[in-house]
Structure 1
Amino acid sequence: MTLWRWVRQHWEWRREALRTNLWLVPSLEVIGAVALFAVTYLIDAASYAGHVTLPSWVMAGTADSGRQILIVIAGALVTVVGVVFSVIIVALSLASTQFGPRMLRTFIRDRGAQFTLGTYVSTFAYALLVLISIEPGPHGDFVPHLSITVAMAGMGLDVAVLIYFIHHITVEIQLPRVIARIAAELSKAITEQGGTGRRGTPSPVAGDSVQEWLGRLEQSSGVVCVHRSGYLQFIRHQSLVRIAAKADAVILLPYRPGHFLVAGSGMARVWPPEAAPVVQRHLAKAGVTGHSRTLSQDVSFGVDQLVEIALRALSPAVNDTFTALTCIDWLGSSLCQITDDWRPSGVHRDAQGMIRVISTEAGYDRLVQRSFEKIRQAGAGVPAVMIRQLESLAKIMERTTTAEQRALLLHQAEMIHEATPSVPESADRDDVTRRYEALRAMHAERATSSAG
């Protein structure tokens, strides 16, 4: 395991934790505003002492006029910050009602909203610093003319940011845009977590096989318990590899990120059993649990988000078939990518090639089931949904490379077709049947070509 992969693994989790908040970007912008004030204040102090001459475009005026300008700027900014914050809260409330509470993280992670909020807060902080810097001096009142000019320029920038924010929030809250953003995050997670392109030089292989270690762990192993309840969000596999290598042990992780763990229940099994206390002491550094799921190592969460929106759209209270169709389209696109590029590694070895950690990964069959089954159940009797699911299965079928994958997709199609009697119109039933027969023909054709 290289240092780069260790850093990347830790940064992946930290990036998700830092991005899903509304304080990081505003805090950085406030720090930038303080640094900018330090620079302009030094220039104003040098000008006051007669060491430099300010350009002609710098605002001139008395201390009282400067105070009045800064007070107006600060007051206006406080008002606008309240308006921006209210708009963000309304957007979050609408997202929770229309898309589901688990969609809130998508809006909290939005850089546009974070940047807008930070711009106003940092400008307010800058204006306040300039205001308190106006004071009597040996050569009359010290008036930071350059700093006041910069504060007024910042006010002009804030007007432009307000226009941007109104446009941004009205675009981002549109349902097709929300679905596309979730699908884009899911696509990125698929590439990072299970993509074949992410692996570099093959690691050395030594010692017993996975099957031998699983049999040994089944016969005799020590149990390592989790300290607190919550969803398993992230596992630092390489930290566990180092712990296991130091104890000359093998660790089995029966749970994967996305599973809910209860405090005191077993999170891992260790062979030899006497190494379990050593792993227990370091487990808190290698696993992260929290109150919600994330996409950091949980591709299923991205699939579940799209499915949740589709289920809400198909509910009798909403009855929005077109939104469900959009979700099915993006789920089909994600499954095409998974079919092409989903090769997650559940075996983690040390530098000598010895197996140290055996983890549980989301399988291809489970991802397909999560993508189709709940929507199929909710959309039974809706021909548009049934037809779109069959069309998505056909697109995925074109990417398959194994008989197992094709059999899995055909099974999903058969369950959809079995619900055809629930469609009231005979013409609609015929449409569903034609899509199903076309999929069966594609399955037979690809099976024949693979056998040849």
Structure 2
Amino acid sequence: MFASNGLRVHDWRRERLRTNLWLVPAVEAAAVVVLFAGTTKLDWTAYQGGMRFPSWVLSGSADGARQVLSTIAAAIITVAGLVFSITIVALTLASTQFGPRMLRNFIRDRGTQLTLGTFVATFLYAMLVLVAISPGPHGDFVPHLSVTVALGLTLVDLAMLIFFIHHIARAIQLPHVIAGIAGDLARAIEQEGCADATGMDGRERGLSPRELLDRMSVVASAPVCTPSSGYLQYLRHDRLIAMAHDSDAVIHLLYRPGHFLIEGSPLALVWPPEAAARVGAGLKRGQVTGPYRTLTQDISFGIDQLVEIAIRALSPAVNDTFTALTCIDWLGDCLCRIGPGWHSRRVHRDTEGYVRLIAYQASYERLVQRAFEKIRQAGVGMPAVMIRQLDALHKIMERTGDPERRQLLLEQADLIAASCRTSVPEPADREDVLRRHRAVLELAKSPEDEIIAVGYATDGLSSAVPHPRGPNHLPPQL
């Protein structure tokens, strides 16, 4: 049962390591240190007459080698400074045009990290070889093979510079940025759905989730407070389930990854109350908070990123309708992935089949609202935006067979039609929008067996079940 959770732990750690500019350069620097040790050993063997290098290995005096290496080191560090400058300009442009939350997408870019790491590694290697030139028993020791390798690394750096210029010019283009965010969101949706699809082979023991929630709302349950302030980034479900199993308790999480936690506020409810002390002591190891949100276990964040770009594009200062239309297209694609059979499981059982953890997950209703409402509000009076949103709803509904989900999509379509009637003055434009609305209504009347989708499992717990409230606590409705 915990294999999928272990995979997500790996994904979360990999994401933490990827979102920095030091890891790849550090790895490459360590690699060139090993390379330097190997080439220097061969050079020393050749210096003592133990071997001969082929003709393509450079030869020359110690002064010539020092001059070559000094030139390489100076040129490489200059170009590395240029790469850093271009990176800072790209980050500034991204912050202004795409929003400050897009900066992490550029920092985690492997192309930028690899380019910086290659230049830093070459500079380090040239400096190490330069220091290795020294007097010896048979005259000056000149590491000819190492100097040749340094020149080879310089050619690699030249290729990396050309790649970086192409890469950064492509990376700051809005369609590429939007497609990259949508790709990350699609992978997060797939991982979340696949991970939660694993279960207990049908074994269910003890009280049902609804009975447990009813009992926790009537019988006293002890709250566990948040250990530190920040955004909830990750929950170790396996550890929480193990703690609840050892304490013979049930944990009800009041927040999900992506919510902001305030130190000392209730984070979870534990039943029976006497197990709260033990569960609270281990809760610090079962959750991670930080200064920002991530896509791990928080697919709402990916939707919010696309929506932010869209509403920025629709603002009077930017007025870029086509960028907003691109965001709507990708939002529709991602919601289509959520539709057929996907569900994010709230109920987690132990190996014996008993309910041990009831998580707080974003409902399908909230995901649809996040994807459409802010863009609809920002696109008031814009028929092109309304038409594209209705087209997206039509595509999503084609892949949604659940009546409740189809009703949610219809509500969004009705809101767009109502906005059109009050904000679009031109009759022809208004008729274009309402024609798309009627197409959605006709699709909603189609028999369910004509819809390319299946219903989704709820694991015995409806998303509409209200959350029990701790002392002075209201469940967040973000």
Q: Supply the RMSD in Å over aligned alpha carbons.
A: 1.4
Corresponding residue of 1:423? 424
Kindly provide the CA deviation profile for residues 294-340 of structure 1, in whole angstroms up to 9, marking residues without a partner as x.
00110000000000000000001001000000000000000111112
> How far is the alpha carbon of 1:157 from its aligned partner?
0.8
Matched residue of 2:445: which SS? helix
Matches within 5 A, 1:290-301: 290-301=290-301
Corresponding residue of 1:340? 340
> How far is the alpha carbon of 1:248 from its aligned partner?
1.2
Segment of structure 1 superposing worse, 92-101 or 196-205:
196-205
Matched, 1:51 2:46: no
> How far is the alpha carbon of 1:226 from its aligned partner?
1.1
Matched residue of 1:29: which SS? helix
Runs of 4+ off more than 4 Å = 447-450
Corresponding residue of 1:392? 392
Matched, 1:107 2:79: no
**CA gap 1:32/1:40 in 2 versus in 1, 3 angstroms:** same
Corresponding residue of 2:252? 252
Matched, 1:280 2:284: no
Segment of structure 1 superposing worse, 366-375 or 214-223:
214-223
Equivalents in 2 of 1:320, 1:5: separation in Å? 41
> How far is the alpha carbon of 1:204 from its aligned partner?
3.0
Equivalents in 2 of 1:7, 1:345: separation in Å? 16
Matches within 5 A, 1:312-323: 312-323=312-323
Corresponding residue of 2:149? 150
Corresponding residue of 2:461? none
Equivalents in 2 of 1:203, 1:70: separation in Å? 68
Corresponding residue of 1:24? 23
> How far is the alpha carbon of 1:342 from its aligned partner?
2.2
**CA gap 1:273/1:128 in 2 versus in 1, 3 angstroms:** same
Equivalents in 1 of 2:450, 2:95: separation in Å? 48
> How far is the alpha carbon of 1:428 from its aligned partner?
0.2
Matched, 1:271 2:271: yes
Kindly provide the CA deviation profile for residues 235-281 of structure 1, in whole angstroms up to 9, marking residues without a partner as x.
00001011111111110001100001001001111111111111111
Contact 2:410 2:444 in 1 (8 A): yes
Corresponding residue of 2:174? 175
Corresponding residue of 2:414? 414
Matched residue of 1:356: which SS? strand
Corresponding residue of 1:310? 310
Corresponding residue of 1:84? 83
Matched, 1:41 2:29: no
Corresponding residue of 2:437? 436
Equivalents in 2 of 1:196, 1:77: separation in Å? 46
Equivalents in 1 of 2:194, 2:53: separation in Å? 57
Corresponding residue of 2:463? none
**CA gap 1:255/1:37 in 2 versus in 1, 3 angstroms:** same
> How far is the alpha carbon of 1:9 from its aligned partner?
3.1
Equivalents in 2 of 1:188, 1:27: separation in Å? 28
Greater helix share, structure number: 1
Corresponding residue of 1:191? 190
Matched, 1:231 2:231: yes
Equivalents in 1 of 2:125, 2:199: separation in Å? 48
Q: Can you give the 5+ residue segments of structure 2 that lack an aligned partner in the other structure?
A: 452-478
Equivalent AA in structure 2 for residue 349 of structure 1:
R
Equivalents in 2 of 1:273, 1:360: separation in Å? 20
TM (norm. structure 1) is 0.97
Contact 1:9 1:236 in 2 (8 A): no
> How far is the alpha carbon of 1:438 from its aligned partner?
1.2
**CA gap 1:28/1:301 in 2 versus in 1, 3 angstroms:** same
Contact 1:244 1:357 in 2 (8 A): yes
Contact 2:196 2:345 in 1 (8 A): no
TM (norm. structure 2) is 0.92
Matched, 1:138 2:137: yes
Matched residue of 1:121: which SS? helix
Corresponding residue of 2:11? 12
Segment of structure 1 superposing worse, 418-427 or 249-258:
418-427
Matched residue of 1:141: which SS? strand
Equivalents in 2 of 1:303, 1:437: separation in Å? 27
**CA gap 1:110/1:449 in 2 versus in 1, 3 angstroms:** closer
> How far is the alpha carbon of 1:200 from its aligned partner?
6.8
Equivalents in 1 of 2:78, 2:288: separation in Å? 39
Kindly provide the CA deviation profile for residues 48-69 of structure 1, in whole angstroms up to 9, marking residues without a partner as x.
1111111111000111111111
Equivalents in 2 of 1:151, 1:204: separation in Å? 63
Equivalents in 2 of 1:401, 1:231: separation in Å? 34
Equivalents in 1 of 2:57, 2:20: separation in Å? 38
Matched, 1:215 2:214: yes
> How far is the alpha carbon of 1:7 from its aligned partner?
3.2
Q: Can you give the 5+ residue segments of structure 1 that lack an aligned partner in the other structure?
A: none
Contact 2:222 2:269 in 1 (8 A): yes
Equivalents in 1 of 2:31, 2:195: separation in Å? 40
How many residues align? The count is 449
**CA gap 1:233/1:207 in 2 versus in 1, 3 angstroms:** same
Corresponding residue of 1:164? 163
Contact 1:252 1:359 in 2 (8 A): yes
Equivalents in 1 of 2:136, 2:203: separation in Å? 73
Equivalents in 2 of 1:411, 1:159: separation in Å? 56
Contact 1:196 1:341 in 2 (8 A): no
Matched residue of 1:285: which SS? coil
User: What is the aligned-residue identity percentage?
Assistant: 57
